[in-house]
Structure 1
Amino acid sequence: MTNPTLARLTPEVSVDEAVDVIMRDGGVIIEGLFDSTTIEGLQKDLGPWLDEVDAGYDEVFAGNRTKRLGGLFAKSEHMVTVAMSPLYRGIADQILNKPIDVFFGEQAVPNPAGKHIGATMAIKIGPGQGAQPLHRDDGVWLWRHPGYGREARVQIMVAVSDFTAENGGTLVIPGSHLWDDHRAPRREEAIPTEMKAGSALIWIGSTYHGGGENTTTDSYRFGLSMGYDLAFLRTEENHFLTYTLDQIRKLPEEIQRELDWSSEHYLGWVEVAGQMADPLDLLKRDDYATTGDGLPTTL
């Protein structure tokens, strides 16, 4: 029996068509999603940081021959290009941002779920690294399958170097997003993601996947991952401790909001002079330079 494969689409595909494929298969490869300028910039910006990072601390999940790096918006301007990809953002919006009617008094009002950036990570899988255990990323929230009628995450893995079956291309089990929580993933069901630098794998939080085994003797597999998550779920990466205010202020407003410097639907407000203030307004103030007792006294 042949394992199913991941569909391959071009960047010109419509959001609707890409979403249809992802919800059918659990993921999709978009070939050539990012140009050479972006990929070369990511290599130049993130490579030196990763060179200074120690390999992981365990053999099971982090990998003892794998290097990881977070806080990418502070380390490369090209991270904004990844996060602002119209196709990726459109896919994430359509899958995640499904409104739910809630009552305010006797009137039912549709509230969109919203999305935010859950984590960013650059990953270099080194020679001799074993395969990562297959897992679902939405497990961090104890997500159940089925049961909620919605996805928690839409994730992207950008190939900064070529991904092959030999150098640790991300393992994916197509169709596993449809499984319940009683079926364990098996390694023989997974297929390696093979794609050229600049291409990207986009998948959802309920799909079983994991870093592949690097059986080469001298080749690192360099990938960049980030996830758009439902806005009401806690982020994996703590953005408030990862970035300084100066770094946040340099980012586009869309990214500032998605790094949780916003307070939509009453989530994330901060008290200023007795009012529930939007953190985004604080970023625009010259007299706001810290948190807590450094808050301005008037709006």
Structure 2
Amino acid sequence: MNSLIQWIGPTFKNQDSPEEFYPAKTRRLPALLARSESVQGMATAPTINALCEHHLSDNCDRFQLHVSVAVNIGPGAREQVLHREEDAFPFFELPRPNLVIATMWAMNDFTHSNGATLLVPGSHRWSADRQARPDEVAQADMPEGSVLIWLGGTLHAAGANNSNEWRYGIILSYSLGWLRQEENQYLNLPPALAKNMPNEVRELVGYPMHGSLGFYDRDIAKI
């Protein structure tokens, strides 16, 4: 985990604006599968993939990688607003079938003081206008190397970092294979790179067709 921590660069915003979705002192690094074989292994972990199959396969032929991003949250970062991974798809009324499964891998200890992820269990069954009470919000304290998994309709947020240490995590989320991915996987892992990846990585990124979706000229896109 320590080698993964060193990816995240030194540049981040110095001002904390309550109008911004990502708190100040938050660094983000996308395109993780193109950067690390270790993350490729994390993304294709059998237990995680089995959970995705269980929760997503009723509504798709195959699931796909939705987001891969490292997140580094520094001392003094405010609490993030509660939100859903599936907020990218506002056209599906709440509550809805599962569209997304999200995971957070702890690269160091997640604690109350350094802003461990906040979750509202059961909120994936709520209507859009239902607000969480303070007593309904849980916090995912967990040691380095742990993985937090939640349904994409669940309200969650980064907690406030009131410690003197940075908190490091990797978000890997998965979605129904026919949805537009939030992260553009085909630019972050283009054919020139994907052709050297294991088949299971290419399939997870979304290179195979999903039914009639995603057809291409094989003479042009040889990977």
Same fold (TM over 0.5): yes
> Are positions 1:247 and 2:205 aligned together?
no
Percent same amino acid among aligned pairs? 30
In structure 2, relative to structure 1, the CA distance for the partners of 1:84 and 1:180 (3 Å cut) is: same
Q: Is the 8 A contact 1:134 1:187 kept in 2?
A: no
Alignment-derived partner of residue 258 in structure 1: 204
Alignment-derived partner of residue 70 in structure 2: 122
Alignment-derived partner of residue 143 in structure 2: 196
Say which of 206, 214, 221 aligns to 2:167: 221
Equivalent-residue separation in structure 2 for 1:97 and 1:140 (angstroms): 20
Equivalent-residue separation in structure 2 for 1:271 and 1:56 (angstroms): 47
Structure with the larger RCO, 1 or 2 (CA within 8 Å, 6+ apart): 2
Alignment-derived partner of residue 138 in structure 1: 86
TM value normalised by structure 1: 0.69
Alignment-derived partner of residue 113 in structure 1: 61
Alignment-derived partner of residue 24 in structure 1: none
Q: What is the CA deviation profile of residues 142-187 of structure 1, one whole-angstrom value per residue up to 9, with x for unaligned ones?
A: 13222x4x20011110011000011010000112112111202344
Alignment of 1:68-79 (within 5 A): 68-79=28-39
Instruction: Give the counterpart letter for 1:125 in structure 2.
Output: I
Give the secondary structure class of the aligned counterpart of 2:7: helix
Alignment of 1:1-299 (within 5 A): 39=1, 43-44=2-3, 46-55=4-13, 59=17, 60-98=20-58, 112-142=60-90, 143-146=92-95, 148=96, 150-216=97-163, 218-271=164-217, 282-283=222-223
Equivalent-residue separation in structure 2 for 1:194 and 1:115 (angstroms): 28
Instruction: Give the counterpart letter for 1:215 in structure 2.
Output: N
Number of residue pairs the alignment of both structures matches: 220
How far did residue 48 of structure 1 move? 3.0
How far did residue 241 of structure 1 move? 1.7
Give the secondary structure class of the aligned counterpart of 1:157: strand
Q: Is the 8 A contact 2:75 2:166 kept in 1?
A: yes
130-139 vs 53-62, greater mean Cα deviation: 53-62
Equivalent-residue separation in structure 2 for 1:198 and 1:180 (angstroms): 34
How far did residue 57 of structure 1 move? 7.9
How far did residue 96 of structure 1 move? 0.3
Where in structure 1 do 4 or more consecutive aligned residues deviate above 6 Å? none
Equivalent-residue separation in structure 1 for 2:178 and 2:58 (angstroms): 13
In structure 2, relative to structure 1, the CA distance for the partners of 1:98 and 1:227 (3 Å cut) is: same
Give the secondary structure class of the aligned counterpart of 1:265: coil
Equivalent-residue separation in structure 2 for 1:71 and 1:57 (angstroms): 26
How far did residue 114 of structure 1 move? 1.7
Larger radius of gyration: 1
Equivalent-residue separation in structure 2 for 1:57 and 1:74 (angstroms): 31
| Unmatched tracts of structure 1, length 5 or more | 1-38, 100-111, 284-299
TM value normalised by structure 2: 0.91
Q: What is the CA deviation profile of residues 56-104 of structure 1, one whole-angstrom value per residue up to 9, with x for unaligned ones?
A: 88633111111111000122111112111111100001110115xxxxx
Q: What is the CA deviation profile of residues 112-150 of structure 1, one whole-angstrom value per residue up to 9, with x for unaligned ones?
A: 43211111110111000011000111110113222x4x2
Give the secondary structure class of the aligned counterpart of 1:201: strand
Equivalent-residue separation in structure 2 for 1:203 and 1:259 (angstroms): 20
